[in-house]
């Protein structure tokens, strides 16, 4: 296949600040998880597919299969669709849960 370029599981980015591995980062319509520590000005990789465990707003209850959104200011997943979409709840999360499993959505909802 001569036209294959990338697997599409991650995208490169140039960090405008230091990012730690496992932190959530938003680039345009992509919400993903930083693959490894990246210093300001360095190139890093943002994982945009797969299931990740990330911080959830409490006392929010989230049903399995519900769309979830990344609140950049608060640094947590919530149900507010005014925030960038993070993905779909891979498993339900109870009120007391501080983390949630999320199946990342690779780009805008219209692409998925």
Domain boundaries, the chain: 10-111
Reduced to 3 states, what is the DSSP secondary structure of residue 44? strand
Q: Which fold has domain 10-111?
A: Virus Head Decoration Protein; Chain: A, (2.40.300)
pLDDT of the chain, 112 residues: tens digit per residue: 688 888 889 999 999 999 999 999 999 889 999 999 999 999 999 999 999 999 998 899 999 999 999 999 999 999 999 999 999 999 999 999 999 999 998 665 544 4
pLDDT of residue 107: 61
* Count of other CB atoms within 10 angstroms of residue 19: 22
Q: At 36, is the secondary structure helix, strand, or coil?
A: coil
Phi, psi at 111, each rounded to 5°: -90, -15
């Amino acid at each position: 296949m001569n036209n294959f370029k990338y697997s599409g599981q991650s995208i490169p980015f140039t960090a405008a600040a230091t990012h730690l591995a496992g932190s959530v980062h938003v680039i345009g319509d992509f919400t993903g998880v930083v693959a490894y520590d990246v210093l300001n000005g360095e190139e890093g990789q943002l994982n945009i597919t797969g299931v990740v465990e990330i911080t959830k707003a409490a006392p929010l209850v989230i049903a399995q299969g519900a769309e979830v959104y990344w609140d950049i200011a608060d640094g947590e997943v919530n149900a507010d669709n005014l925030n960038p979409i993070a993905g779909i709840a891979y498993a339900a999360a109870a009120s007391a849960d501080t983390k949630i499993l999320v199946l990342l959505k690779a780009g805008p909802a219209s692409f998925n």
